[in-house]
Amino acid sequence: MVTIYDIARAAGVAKSTVANVLSGKGKVSEATRQRVLYYARELGYRPNLLARNLSQHRTFTVALILPTIANPFYPEIMEAIEHILRQRDYQTLFCNTHGDFALGRQQMERLMSRWVDGYIIMGSSMDIADIAHYFRQGVPIVLCDWQENESPSGIPQVTVDFFRAGQLAAEHLLALGHRRIAVIVDEPQQHLRLEGFRTTLRQAGLELPPDRIALGDSSLESGYAAARQLLSVGQELAPPTAIFATNDWMALGAMELVLDRGLRVPEDVSIVGLDDIVVSAHLRPPLTTIAIPKTRLAQEATELLLAQIEAASQEQGRELPPAGEGTDGAAQRQGVTAPLRLVPPSLVVRQSTAVPASP
């Protein structure tokens, strides 16, 4: 591997001169600078970025830990985060945990041994107790789109106003005239969506009977099975004219079941999802959904994380003990990050919803 010593010898200058040219520091004549750069190119010099970055107390690498890439929502977030970080000269590592907390803990330990600067952790991918443990050690962490049944204290978090998302879905279906409405929900992780939806129905004088709530696990298959339950023959209640699925993937499964039954969307059953994944706009019919602004979610999470990384780097640059070795790293970063940032959702009306065929 070519070193600055090789360049100095070829250019006939001191090693310190080469170092100044390559780092952009010090006073070097233009002729000397051009000669050094010429020999650096000719010899195929590649700077040791790891050594340089470690001298700045960072590696410019961020890890994104998520539950699965099987749901298209997560790859869309991954792409947005990677794009934003690349503009800041950061590399991104991605890890799936498949909802396995033990695997999440193992992934975290491996990443920490690779000098990752910080972590964006998405909902259901790790045990919150493990995350809190690492955060208390001074590890820069941001929770992104965290599950709605947990309110982790002190850890910076960026999420969506899911209660409002549920309200938007209910308001849309009520405005169309639907009164027999059902829900497919992944409980308890998505309870705010359900509560927002249920509250809006109640304010309109409608209750959401237990028979009109079916459980899913955020997968397409579970949406299919839940819709079959809701439309099954022999229910005491008349079949619903509309279904709200608390993510698009389950909504797609529900739509498939409705079509397999020989029914029409939206003439017989209107369907609303939540996420606005790319494929939702290209179905037949295109899916009405509650959109999550993924780029803004990624931007907010990245800003919070980079602020923590910068603060941690400055603290280590003052020769304080490394985070996690006798210091309260979380306390060092107080005031650097806001505890919670809420991103507003929006309604996207497409052709999967319409006025009900029957009163």
Alpha helices by DSSP H, 231-271: 248-260
Domain ranges of the chain: 4-47, 57-160+294-343, 162-292
Supply 132's token pair: 């809190």
Residues 6+ apart with CB under 8 A from 188: 147, 148, 149
Burial class (CB in 10 A: 0-12, 13-18, 19+), 330: buried
Residues 6+ apart with CB under 8 A from 338: 156, 304
Residue 23 has φ and ψ, to the nearest 5°, of -95, -10
DSSP letter assigned to residue 260: H
Supply 348's token pair: 């996207």
Q: Write the single-letter amino acid at 229.
A: Q
Question: How far is C-alpha 239 from the geometric centre of its chain's CA atoms?
Answer: 35
Q: Tell whether omega for the bond before 285 is within 30 degrees of 0, i.e. cis.
A: yes
Rounded CA separation 62/140 (Å): 10
Q: pLDDT tens digits, residue range 103-148? A: 999 988 888 776 789 999 998 889 999 999 889 888 999 999 988 8
DSSP-derived 3-state class of residue 146: coil
Is the domain defined by 57-160+294-343 classed in CATH 3.50.50.60?
Answer: no
Proportion of the chain in helix, strand, coil states, percent, rounded to 5: 45, 15, 40
Closest by alpha carbon to 178, among 203, 199, 201? 201
- Where residue 48 falls among pLDDT bands split at 50, 70, 90? low
Its CATH class, for the domain covering 4-47, is mainly alpha
Supply 349's token pair: 């009306």
What is the pLDDT, as a whole number, of residue 163? 96
> Per CATH, the architecture of 162-292 is what?
3-Layer(aba) Sandwich (3.40)
Q: pLDDT tens digits, residue range 157-214? A: 999 999 999 999 999 999 999 999 999 999 998 999 999 999 999 999 999 999 999 9
Q: What is the pTM of this model?
A: 0.78
Of 46-60, 93-107, 280-294, highest mean pLDDT: 280-294
DSSP letter assigned to residue 130: H
| 112, 128, 140, 148 from 105: Cα distances, Å | 11, 10, 16, 21
Q: Cβ distance 308 to 331 under 8 Å?
A: no
Rounded CA separation 132/203 (Å): 38
Do 57-160+294-343 and 162-292 fold alike per CATH?
A: yes
Taking residues 15-40, report their average pLDDT.
83
Pick the range with the lowest mean pLDDT from 5-9, 23-27, 295-299, 306-310.
23-27
What is the pLDDT, as a whole number, of residue 54? 46
